[in-house]
Amino acid sequence: MTITVSDVMVAARDMAAKLEVSVRSVIAFSACSDFSAYVDIDGDDLHWIVAERAGREVKRRTTDSLDELMHWLAVEVTFDMARAWGMKQRNLFPEREVTGTDRLAKQVELLRRLDGSWAAQAQAQHDDAYSHAFD
């Protein structure tokens, strides 16, 4: 089954609603000048692409699964949201240091709104990275 721009937009709108952000925060279909990822649909292939200002691709992932594409987008947008949350916390409570662990916990919390398995996967990756941090 071919996935259309319409299919992707429906999923992106659903994600944006659950995260309480604009659809623009979740998805773009053309390159931006700020290294944000964008989506390109080519037949049955869904491409998640990050390009630099001059247009040179820095990263590309390809799938034929809408769920996998949405997972990639979710990880990116929740990372950005968690980073923004950390900056806000630092400004609101300058006496309390916001750590990377705090931001990762916030990202997992946001992913949980979208899909419990995505949150569990992110938590496992964070736990694994932390367990090797002092090796």
Task: Indicate if the pLDDT at residue 102 is higher than 90.
Answer: no
Contacts 24+ apart (CB under 8 A), 65-71: 66/3, 66/7, 66/8, 66/11, 69/8, 69/39, 70/11, 70/12, 70/15, 71/115, 71/118
Query: What would the pLDDT profile of 44-100 be if each residue is shown by its tens digit?
Result: 999 999 888 777 888 999 999 999 999 999 999 999 999 998 888 877 777 777 777
At 52 the pLDDT is 82
pLDDT band, very low/low/confident/very high, at 135 (cuts 50, 70, 90):
low
Cβ(2)–Cβ(64) below 8 Å: no
Strand partners, 16: none
Q: What is the mean pLDDT of the chain?
A: 88
Query: What would the pLDDT profile of 44-60 be if each residue is shown by its tens digit?
Result: 999 999 888 777 888 99
